[in-house]
Amino acid sequence: MTDSGATPRQIYDPVSETPSSYVREAPGIQPPLDFPEYKSTALRHPKQPLIYLPQNITELTGPALGSLAPVGDLDNDLTRQHGGAPIGERTVVFGRVLDTEGKPLRNTMVEIWQANASGRYRHRWDRFPAPLDPNFSGAGRAITDDEGRYRFVTIKPGPYPWGNHYNAWRPAHIHFSLLGRAFTQRLVTQMYFPGDPLFRYDPIFNSIPDAAARKRLVSRFSIQDTEPDWALAYEFDIYLRGPGATPFEEAL
Ligand SMILES: [Fe+2]
């Protein structure tokens, strides 16, 4: 598969219940699966043509995500999941999940994961010698409401080194996963913070060919959504398709 945007692909249309041909819209929005500057993509990208796997009745009629994974009161507040307050810059992250026409998508599970304020993930494979925070796990989830809105309270993550090239550091970012009506309908992306000096050095951010599309991964500081004397706020809307689509880590 190429990522020129012009390659027809087969996808399953759950409305018509038929496979259909799909041409990626707006070339340049989605990152290529193999991007030499991002070295590990050489190991991960498909080497063979993709195989069409139609969804069957199991995927389409399985239990709704809401009943499988109930979202608790504190799931969207990463600052209150432990006994004490985590260290860092308290931050509200909010936005809407929208389709091509800007129609809100309700009942979508939005999951996030991130490093703590010092740039360390709570994960056994993270060897970055920065401190862990006993009061911060770095994972949360929310379900969009009828207007497609989600909201998290968290700590602004720190940048971290990742060894891709000389003194490579990732810009501060939050990973996002969106689940649709089935587990096979999952989109993954990353949200960044405005004004980060590391953008120009980051091949993951720069793997998205179109500059305007890259900007759509950068959240917007919103003074009116800050909480006085408590938290700053950043808005991040996610568009699933169309010329204004949010870049995702995997093709639709
Ligand atoms: Fe990360």
pLDDT of residue 18: 60
Strand locations in the chain, DSSP E? Answer: 8-13, 18-23, 90-98, 109-113, 139-143, 149-155, 160-161, 169-170, 173-179, 186-192, 220-221, 232-235, 238-239
**Structure tokens given for 88:** 């860092």
Q: Which two tokens stand for residue 117?
A: 């304020």
Distance 119 CA to ligand 1 centre (A): 9
Catalytic residue status for 123: no
Of the candidates 170, 192, 234, 239, the residue annotated as catalytic is: 170
Is residue 26 a part of any domain in this protein? no
DSSP SS3 for 162? coil
175 in catalytic set: yes
CA distance 247 to 238: 9
Q: What's residue 5's pLDDT? A: 40
Q: How far is the CA of 115 from the centre of ligand 1 (A)?
A: 7
Is the predicted pLDDT of residue 225 greater than 80, yes or no? yes
The first and second tokens of residue 3, run together, are 């990522």
- Rounded average pLDDT over 41-54: 79
CB 51 within 8 A of CB 10: no
The C-alpha angle 145, 15, 96, rounded to 5 degrees, equals 25
Cα(224) to centroid of ligand 1, in Å?
28
Ligand 1 center to residue 48 CA distance, Å?
27
Reported pTM: 0.85
Q: How high is the pLDDT of residue 56?
A: 74
Residue in 38, 150, 160, 239 annotated catalytic:
160
Residue 28 maps to a domain: no
Q: Quote the DSSP letter at residue 104.
A: B
Comparison of pLDDT for 194 and 66, the residue scoring more? 194
Number of domains in the chain: 1
**For residue 152, is it within any domain?**
yes
16 CA → ligand 1 middle, Å: 37
CA distance 124 to 206: 28
CA dist., res. 115 & res. 136, Å (int): 9
- The reply to whether 5 falls in a domain is no
Instruction: State in Å: Cα 172 to ligand 1 middle.
Output: 8
Catalytic residue (choose from 175, 192, 214, 234): 175
CATH of the domain at 222: 2.60.130.10
Q: What is the pLDDT of residue 1?
A: 31
Check 121, 150, 234, 239 and give the catalytic one: 121
Q: Rounded to an integer, what distance in angstroms lies between the CA atom of residue 204 and that of residue 249?
A: 10
Q: What is the pLDDT of residues 113-128, one digit of tens each?
A: 999 999 999 999 999 9
Whether the pLDDT of residue 15 is over 60: the answer is no
Closest-CA residue to 178 (of 118, 60, 98, 234): 98
> Which residue range is the domain that position 219 belongs to?
63-239
Q: Is residue 25 part of a domain?
A: no
CA-based diameter of the chain, in Å? 54
Ligand 1 geometric centre to CA of 173 (Å): 6
Q: Is residue 203 in a domain?
A: yes
Is residue 215 within a helix (H) or strand (E), and if so which, with residue range?
helix 211-215
pLDDT at 6 over 70: no
Q: Is residue 62 over pLDDT 90?
A: no
Kindly state the average pLDDT of the residues 10-17. Answer: 54
User: 92 C-alpha vs ligand 1 centroid, how far in Å?
Assistant: 18
**165 included as an active-site residue:** no
Residue 214 DSSP symbol: H
Q: Does the pLDDT value for residue 251 go beyond 50?
A: no
Distance 41 CA to ligand 1 centre (A): 15
CA dihedral 212, 214, 215, 217 (to 10 degrees): 140
